[in-house]
Amino acid sequence: MYVALLIILTLFSIVELLNKLKKNKIIFIILSIVLTLILSFRYGQGTDYFAYYTQYLKTNSYSSLFINELTHGEIGWHAIMVLLKRANISFELFIIMLSIIMMSSVCYSIYNYSPYIVTSLLILYPTYYLTYMFSALRQGLVMSIFIGFGIKYLLNKNYVKYFILISILSFIHNGALILIIIPILISCRKILLEKYLIFFSIIGMVIAYSGIIDKYFRDFRFYIYINNSFSIMAVLIRLLLMYTIYKFHKSNDEKDVVEDLLYYIYVIGFSLFLILSFSGTLSQRLTMPMKSIETILLPLAFNNYEKSKTKLIVRLKLGNTKVYPLIIAIILSLNVETIKNINAYIEQDNYYHWVNPINYPYGNIFNKDKIRNYVLYFKNEIN
């Protein structure tokens, strides 16, 4: 099912990019609803699904909202679960509520800012949707609300609301605090910002790989993340996206206000990614919300480039159709990334050896026993 959905998103994206169905509201709404329903009614899927299930199950409705009793999770997340338990909300309904909030927030910004809305859903699908919205619920919620509301506040220069929003999100996942630096850095002169970021990225990477951190910070709590490995495929895809966005953005005759803002947020995120590249976990987790705006930025930069007079990027002509090798490469990479991620879910969740991305099942709350037929072992305490 997941591969079939990938194929559908890919086909509609290609048609959209060829300007055959650009900004088609009906197709976007249908696909958005399908993605929301799949996310809402899932069961047992997502690496952390049962960890969150157990956490929710053990949350005491009589607990104080102001005393965090979680071993893993911030006080805001604890308070949300306590309030929902007091309202007798089941975990399944909790997931439905989260799914609707996450998808509606992201889709709101995609529809308002992206000229290629289905292509944005395709970019969202492999990692942001299948990993963060399915599994890393706290990070997925932070990412979604940042895309849905944070971008709007930054565009309107409503920094008070932005700082309040990020402060609230930091009580759900403390990684959100890194987003506070965005308006501070963007207020710098744009011409100098890229140079500063490149400089500090190089300095950070030298420090990271020189052994200084290993020598002097071994006793610090964050050290457990230092030696985590990272996916070479994920890094290559990120480099490809950064290069493509950079080329389209720099080749545009006139800069769009939205594109300009999103571009510099993306550059900040990419620089932090380089600085933290010594740790796959830290580099991915802390920069993910900033990276996720590529769902809007890439289609926007491509659209603005198409409207500009300057044509510096290689393109091929097939009849009356213009084809960009860079765009083809990104569409292919998104498909490869999806397959790679599904393979990772199969391995991490201990599915039987015969399960593959094609027959990877959709576990849902209407047939909870289905998932048991695909997993090597299943916790008896989970009903």
CB 296 within 8 A of CB 114: yes
| Separation of alpha carbons 271 and 356, rounded Å | 35
The string of pLDDT tens digits covering residues 284-312 is 778 899 999 999 999 999 888 887 766 66
Greater confidence (147 vs 206) lies with: 147
Residue whose tokens read 């998104």 = 334
Q: Are 64 and 81 a contacting pair, CB within 8 Å?
A: no
Task: Determine the pLDDT at residue 179.
Answer: 95
Q: In the chain, what is the greatest distance between 2 CA atoms, to the nearest angstrom? A: 68
Average pLDDT over residues 45-59: 89
**What pLDDT, on the 0 to 100 scale, is given for residue 249?**
85
∠ CA 250-295-269 to the nearest 5 degrees? 65
**Residue with token string 């909030």:** 101
**105 contacts: CB under 8 Å, gap ≥ 6:** 144, 145, 147, 148, 149
Q: Is the pLDDT of residue 223 over 60?
A: no
The answer on pLDDT for 216 being more than 60 is no
128: its two tokens:
């942001």
Q: What is the pTM of this model?
A: 0.89
Confidence band, pLDDT 50/70/90 cuts, at residue 250 = confident
- pLDDT on residue 123: 96
- pLDDT, tens digit, for every residue of 88-131? 999 999 999 999 999 999 999 999 999 999 999 999 999 999 99
Beta strand extents in 229-275 (DSSP E only)? none
pLDDT digits (tens, 9 = 90+) for 322-370: 778 888 889 999 999 999 999 999 998 888 889 999 999 999 999 888 8
Pairwise CA distance, residues 127 & 144, whole Å? 13
- Cα–Cα dist 382/377, whole Å: 12
Q: Quick check: 48 and 56 in contact, CB under 8 A?
A: no
Is the distance from CB of 286 to CB of 106 less than 8 angstroms? no
**37 secondary structure, DSSP code:** H
DSSP letter for 148, please.
I
Predicted local distance difference test score (pLDDT) of residue 226: 53
Stated as kind and residue range, the H or E segment containing 205 is helix 190-209
Q: Are 121 and 31 spatial neighbours (Cβ–Cβ below 8 Å)?
A: yes
Confidence class of residue 201 from pLDDT cuts 50, 70 and 90?
low
Confidence band for 231, pLDDT divided at 50, 70 and 90: low
C-alpha angle with apex 197: 213 to 139, nearest 5 degrees? 70
Could you give the CA distance from residue 239 to residue 141 in angstroms, rounded to a whole number? 25
What would the mean pLDDT of 10-38 be, rounded to a whole number? 91
- Spatial CA neighbour of 109 closest among 147, 166, 158: 147
Q: Cα dihedral sign for 40, 334, 178, 109? A: negative
Query: Both tokens of residue 75?
Result: 């006080």
Contacts for 275-278 with beta carbons within 8 Å, 24 or more apart?
A: 275/200, 275/201, 275/204, 275/205, 275/208, 276/204, 276/208, 277/205, 277/208, 277/230, 277/235, 278/205, 278/208, 278/209, 278/213, 278/226
Half-sphere exposure of 82 toward its Cβ, with a 13 Å CA cutoff? Answer: 17
What is the pLDDT, as a whole number, of residue 335? 94
Residue 383 reports pLDDT greater than 50:
no
Provide the mean pLDDT of the chain. Answer: 85
Rounded to the nearest 10°, the torsion over CA 331, 336, 342, 346 is 180
Residue 193 has pLDDT above 90, yes or no: no
Amino acid of residue 324: Y
Neighbours of 29 (CB within 10 A): 13
Token output for 24? 């088609």
Q: Which H or E element spans position 323? A: strand 321-323
What is the token pair recorded at 310? 């300057």
pLDDT at 191: 57
Closest by Cα among 74, 299, 42, 275 to 175: 74
